[in-house]
Amino acid sequence: MPPAIDAVNAAAVTQAALARLPQTFVGRAALSGAVLSAGYLVWLSVYRLFLSPLARFPGPKIAALTGWYEFYYDVIKQGKYVFKIKDLHNKYGPIVRINPHELSIDDGEFYNTLYVAGSVRRTENYHEFVKGLNFEDSHFLTTPHDLHRRRRKPLEPFFSRLGATKMEPMLRELAKKLDKRLQELSGSGRVVRLDHAFFAFSGDVITRICTDDAPDFLDDPNFASDWFELVHGVILSIPVMVAFPWLVKIITWIPESVVSWILPHSEGPKDFEKFAKRSIEKAMADKRSGKEAKTDGSRTSLFRHVLDSDMPESELSVDRLVKEAQILFGAGSVSVARTLDFITFYVLQKPHIRERLQLELKDIMADYPNTFPTWAQIEKLPYLQAVIHEGLRLSYGVMHRLPRVSPDMALQYKEWTIPRGVPVGMSAFMMHTDPKVYEKPFEFIPERWLGDNVNPALKRNYVPFAKGSRSCLGMSLAYGELNILMALMFRPGGPNLQLYETDESDIMQTHDFLIPLPKLESKGFRVLVK
């Protein structure tokens, strides 16, 4: 063969080999990646099913194997995992492994062991659960025990019983404003979204506490329905955010118009954040300008109080305080409003409850509006307290399990030793509907709370505000709101309301988005003002 042809052939062979090299490299890399991925999945499966410290705990293997099991019930089925967990407890017993990392316990006797005061032991949030919500800088979802305590401390004076009592004039003022709005509609035959009205009331309460520039939702002709939709947009987005924590980070990089098109419920969190940021920035501007830190002429706003506290500068950044504000605004509005929905629906649905309430309120409210009884006087009315307890029992507060971590010591539940660092959760839904404790648990029966021989287990299982070092900050305030508004609305001569195309399915909690909601296709809690 001539040398020239030989050289040409050699060049051609070399060129062909070089051309194939990327394909060969990519192919081998892809194959290697596939093998490594498959090997990792096999190892992870073996570890989770047989080697994990949780491998010996009862529960379905698929839940132990993958988080997609929970994803299916909470995202695809829209907040249904809490009900599935209850089914798992019925099948496997009081302690169940509900995902690769977490345990659930359904036993009222263990609640006070899991949710304890800081003096008993350190307790932390489960960081994987927290980070998806993007509120880990708030006191409520702070993971480290000591940091949570430092962040919560400046807020406590506002929400203690003494602090809530100091706000009583404001609570009475707002309750009277709502009552007046409803009374003015008397005889109009107008249909009112009472869930919007209650949300406006609780929203006005918490925003007046937090800022000196409250929006006055009750003055809006439609009871600030946009505020209601805004917060519920946030609630509806929670399951996806918990399932995909990285999504929160990505969303911040994408234009809002694109995000809104891809994720219709994403506008709620964005707008809610803007509302909170305006409130924080105004408080900061007022402090810089030397403006007096007062609201209603006498009280210091909560945000200004925090800014004036001895917290380090790192804790007073706009970004952190915005997260705190969002939690306070949201939690302060939703739970109280939902409880008011429950109480009012059943009072209107069951005439004997309304009649008994009016009879009990007759004397104490006889001189209204000339005088308004104090919260301390109202809370001595046994039947009203029973109605409020039953409303809180069925509205649950936070329906979702609240996973807690004991970072320093193992926990013992019966024969089961739970290793330190393992998240364990219990749910108010299961506590409040335990048929061994509450007869006919899904029925509204205030009488179960009356008398001298109430079963102690009823009070033990009653946890609408949770317990321990991370219990709900706003418990006293919530009781004040419920007592004052319910006494006013159901007094003799109060607003004459009648249910309008609203039944129990518009009230009962059927979706757990951390915050419980009724059926999503509901048209709301509607009443006719007669």
What's the per-residue H, E or C state across 18-60?
HHHHHHHHHHHHHHHHHHHHHHHHHHHHHHHHHHCCCCCCCCC
- Determine the Cα–Cα distance for residues 304 and 87; give it in Å rounded to an integer: 47
Residue numbers belonging to the annotated binding site for heme: 472
232, 272 contact by CB (below 8 A): no
pLDDT band at 474 (very low <50, low <70, confident <90, very high): very high
Residues 194-201 have a mean pLDDT of: 98
* Spatial CA neighbour of 129 closest among 116, 142, 115, 112: 142
Q: Is the pLDDT of residue 491 over 80?
A: yes
pLDDT band at 265 (very low <50, low <70, confident <90, very high): low
Q: Is the pLDDT of residue 250 over 90?
A: no
Distances (CA, A) of 358 to 151, 306, 449, 493: 43, 42, 18, 9
Of the listed ranges 60-64, 165-169, 328-332, 392-396, the least confidently predicted one is: 328-332
Residues 465-479 have a mean pLDDT of: 97
496, 186 contact by CB (below 8 A): yes
313, 284 contact by CB (below 8 A): no
pLDDT at 246: 78
- The answer to whether the Cα torsion of 366, 369, 374, 380 is positive or negative is positive
pLDDT band at 18 (very low <50, low <70, confident <90, very high): very low
| Beta bridge partners of residue 508, listed in sequence order | none
Share of the chain above pLDDT 90, in %: 72
User: How confident is the model over 130-171, as pLDDT tens digits?
Assistant: 777 778 899 999 999 999 999 999 999 999 999 999 999 999
Residues 339-366 have a mean pLDDT of: 98
Give the CATH H-level superfamily of domain 124-529: Cytochrome P450 (1.10.630.10)
pLDDT at 241: 85
Q: Is the pLDDT of residue 6 over 90?
A: no
pLDDT band at 257 (very low <50, low <70, confident <90, very high): low
Contacts with 128 (C-beta within 8 Å, 6 or more apart), sequence order: 101, 245, 423
Of the listed ranges 235-239, 251-255, 420-424, 491-495, the least confidently predicted one is: 251-255
Return mean pLDDT, the chain: 90
Residues 12-35 have a mean pLDDT of: 62
Residues 206-233 have a mean pLDDT of: 90
pLDDT band at 19 (very low <50, low <70, confident <90, very high): low
Residues 68-90 have a mean pLDDT of: 97
Most confident by average pLDDT, 6-15, 261-270, 307-316, 334-343: 334-343
Residue numbers belonging to the annotated binding site: 472
SS3 (DSSP) at 197: helix
Q: What is the DSSP string of 221-272?
A: TT--HHHHHHHHHHHHHHHHHHH-HHHHHHHTTS-HHHHHHH-GGGHHHHHH
pLDDT at 336: 97
Neighbour count for residue 267 (Cβ, 10 Å): 17
- Determine the Cα–Cα distance for residues 510 and 518; give it in Å rounded to an integer: 5
Residues 443-459 have a mean pLDDT of: 95
Q: Where are the beta strands (DSSP E) in 81-181?
A: 95-99, 102-105, 124-125
* Residue 180, φ and ψ in degrees, nearest 5: -65, -40
Dihedral angle at the C-alpha atoms of 301, 302, 304, 309, nearest 10 degrees?
140
pLDDT at 128: 85
Contacts with 505 (C-beta within 8 Å, 6 or more apart), sequence order: 518, 519, 522
Q: Is the pLDDT of residue 201 over 70?
A: yes
pLDDT at 217: 94
Distances (CA, A) of 110 to 42, 105, 114, 435, 461: 36, 8, 6, 17, 10
- Determine the Cα–Cα distance for residues 472 and 203; give it in Å rounded to an integer: 17
pLDDT at 22: 57
- Determine the Cα–Cα distance for residues 477 and 189; give it in Å rounded to an integer: 33
Q: What is the pTM of this model?
A: 0.90
